[in-house]
Amino acid sequence: MKFLVTGGAGFIGSHVCEGLLAEGHSVWVLDDLNDFYDPEIKRRNLRDLQALGQPLEFVLGDLVDRDVLENLFSSVPFDQVIHLAARAGVRPSLEDPALYQRVNVEGTVNLLETARRWGAMKVIMASSSSVYGVNSKVPFSESDPIFSPISPYAASKLACEALGHVYHHVYHMDVVALRFFTVYGPRQRPDLAINKFARLIREGEPIPVYGDGTTARDYTYITDILQGVLACTRREFGFEVINLGESQVVTLNRLIELLELALGRKAQIERLPVQPGDVPITSANIEKAGRLLGYKPSVRIEQGVPRFVDWLQTRG
């Protein structure tokens, strides 16, 4: 099949492309290589993918530019679209909310509309656990009310899910929104906690810890996320929202301990105030993913952190 992967040069996207190529599909990557972090990291991901010698094409472009999408869809009859491109991050979204709405929401509706007009009627899109906001019910279930996001990033992802539902309801597109829970592993973005903390600890620099370290996250290893995404390509949904997490809650203090063990160095901690937009806990109910996708995460944090550190020591 022919797949378009938006954001395919990034962390999750490059793994998804690699998985699709391994299954024998043809892949087109659409990415703008923006400067949210060093674009050379994405270029290296692309070089790694191209070195596989499989059918992969890269298109430099922005989802907000309708002409880029029109030219791409008019030239390739895509079977499926995996939409991972977005402006990411809760804290950066507080600094430029309009940018997040423009790229994430306008970009998504541009993609859905162009896909519809050119007959690419199956779209798998990345959502986020951030849509749950401060949720007192743990673990988080897809049926929980989600009308209280606490960051522009979360609001943009909630809007994208709503757009997916509209395009299913009105145009009968097959759409699944995957709520990712704190993904980590090789190629992780350098601004995310595990990557950032590991590099700082290795270099003997202090790590910034917001609050007392009791905030907790459902850290999910990239190979488990990939398992869930690829499973979505093999069946039809109508419209579904599905959590993809590890179903294991880890405090920030425990994460730091695991990084110290893997690196063989103690962390220097710089205590900072809790940041606006941060939620105290994320925790995924993955019963629906198990039932619909056969999803069964297998990499616990005690295994995943050393694997990431091994990769970092060789590549980072």
Query: What kind and span of H or E run contains 90?
Result: helix 90-95
> Of the residues 37, 100, 132, 153, which is catalytic?
153
Nearest to 247 by CA among 192, 179, 305, 195: 179
| Active-site residue flag, 153 | yes
Strands 249-251, 216-218: pairing is: antiparallel
- Name the DSSP class of 7: T
- For residue 311, give every residue at least 6 positions away whose Cβ sits within 8 Å of its Cβ, in sequence order, or none: 185, 186
Nearest Cα to 251, choosing from 224, 273, 283?
Answer: 283
H-assigned helices in 174-279? 193-202, 222-232, 252-263
HEC states along 21-37? HHCCCEEEEEECCCCCC
Q: Which residues are catalytic?
A: 153
